[in-house]
Structure 1
Amino acid sequence: MTRRPYGLICPISRACEFLEPRWTIQILAELWNGSTRFNDIRKGLGSISTALLSRRLKEMEARGLIERLEDKASGTIAYFRTEKSIKLEPAMNALAEWAQCNIEAEIALADVDVSTLMWLVRRKIDIAELPQRRAVIRFHFRDDPHRSAPITG
């Protein structure tokens, strides 16, 4: 489906048209947070379908927001932000800060996909700070005594 432009001579409107398709900004944030592989991006986003993620990645590559690189030796594909999308970081930081200050959102455990939450937490752990031996960090969610999630490293 082709989107109709707003038809306004306004930089904000043009930016919205460019970044508007659902999941585009979240995909950029996921790349910003370090995911480069398709399945890692999907895990970080939680509820996006593989078909939609594939379509968005192709659209974003066509717009010059991301670069798709294939490792010929292994056959793996990685996605990276381009200079164009890297320049969005200050705006994304400002948007995140604005949301934290101005949007009241009570997050209930029932509304959170625990496996996605653990994926997000796992990638923020500095493994260099963990002991050299195997370590397990277990999260216990008080709202549901039967739900717990380990992070193993």
Structure 2
Amino acid sequence: MLDYGEACPISMATSVLCEKWTLQIIRELFFGSTRYSEIQKYIPNLSPSLLRNRLRFLEEKGIVFRKPSATAGRYEYHLTPSGKALAPILNELGRWGMCHASEGMTDKPNAAPSLVRDITGGINTDQLPSGDTVIQLHLTDAEPHAKYHIYVRDNVAQECSQDLGFDVDVYITATTKALTRVWYGEIDIHKAIDNGSVKVVAHPVYLKSLKGWLGISSFTTENPQPFQP
């Protein structure tokens, strides 16, 4: 643990939170990941041993608690009230990063599962036609070439890496980089379509309201709140 050797609440907080990957792990817990494998899926650059050490440290500090899962021999990780209290801090940190430290951000790799998860959470279901909607995201630079599906039912959007066999209403094809640029508001979706970096095939009713239902990161807005306590 970092020790700044001074009586300051900022130093005490950063001594807990500013070890490498710690805030990213907490981010994933806010997004609903509870299993070790889920966290690893969304943070692929984090080594298994370091993830294990960070989770143990966060548990010792009372930010995370571990409990047995329904699967024998496995555990789930959840935020404690102390961990949930970090929601406004993460929101403001993301907003600051978007405003003051985002230069070159979209040139960096973005894990396909994370991008699909973010896009799913940003879909404005009120702008979609009534009834169920199936959206297929084909990320051409993911390995292997991945096709993800987003299912909208009863105004709730859920991601799924498997094709459940339903008819697809909207086909979106792009690289993760191109779609990341759209997600963070670096390029308008219609401009991305015009320049060929994103391809959308759908009934005109979906195309007409595309910009309304395909959201962008709330960190690009005045009131970002992707993390809820």
The two structures have a TM-score, normalised by structure 2, of 0.54
Structure 2 residue aligned with 1:25: 23
Secondary structure of the structure 2 residue equivalent to 1:96: helix
**Closer, same or farther: CA 42–5 of 1 in aligned 2, 3 Å:** same
Q: d(CA) in 2 for partners of 1:8 and 1:51?
A: 30
Higher relative contact order at CA 8 Å, sep ≥6: structure 1 or structure 2?
Answer: 2
Listed as ranges, the matches of 1:1-153 within 5 Å are 3=1, 5-71=3-69, 73-75=70-72, 76-106=74-104, 107-108=106-107, 111-113=108-110, 116=111, 118-124=112-118, 125=120, 131=132, 135=134, 137-140=136-139, 148-152=145-149, 153=160
2:24 is matched by which residue type in structure 1? Q
Structure 1 position 74, deviation (Å): 2.2
Secondary structure of the structure 2 residue equivalent to 1:64: coil
Q: Rg: which structure is higher?
A: 2
2:146 is matched by which residue type in structure 1? A
Q: d(CA) in 2 for partners of 1:15 and 1:140?
A: 39
What is the alpha-carbon root mean square deviation over aligned residues? 2.6
The two structures have a TM-score, normalised by structure 1, of 0.78
Q: d(CA) in 1 for partners of 2:17 and 2:7?
A: 16
Instruction: Tell me the percent identity.
Output: 29
Structure 1 position 149, deviation (Å): 2.7
Q: d(CA) in 1 for partners of 2:116 and 2:100?
A: 28
2:109 is matched by which residue type in structure 1? V
1:112 is matched by which residue type in structure 2? P
Asked if the contact 1:60/1:66 (under 8 Å) is kept, the reply is yes
Q: d(CA) in 1 for partners of 2:98 and 2:91?
A: 11
In the TM superposition, structure 1's runs of 4+ consecutive aligned residues that sit over 2 Å from their partners are: 121-127, 129-132, 138-141, 146-149
Secondary structure of the structure 2 residue equivalent to 1:123: helix
Structure 1 position 4, deviation (Å): 5.1
Q: d(CA) in 1 for partners of 2:144 and 2:113?
A: 15
**Closer, same or farther: CA 104–122 of 1 in aligned 2, 3 Å:** closer
Structure 1 portions without partners, runs of 5+: none
Structure 1 position 39, deviation (Å): 0.6
Asked if the contact 2:66/2:75 (under 8 Å) is kept, the reply is yes
Structure 1 position 121, deviation (Å): 3.2
Structure 2 portions without partners, runs of 5+: 126-130, 150-159, 161-229
Q: d(CA) in 1 for partners of 2:51 and 2:80?
A: 18
Q: Render the CA deviation track for 1:10-62: whole Å, top value 9, x for unaligned.
A: 11111111212211111000101111110110111120011110111111111
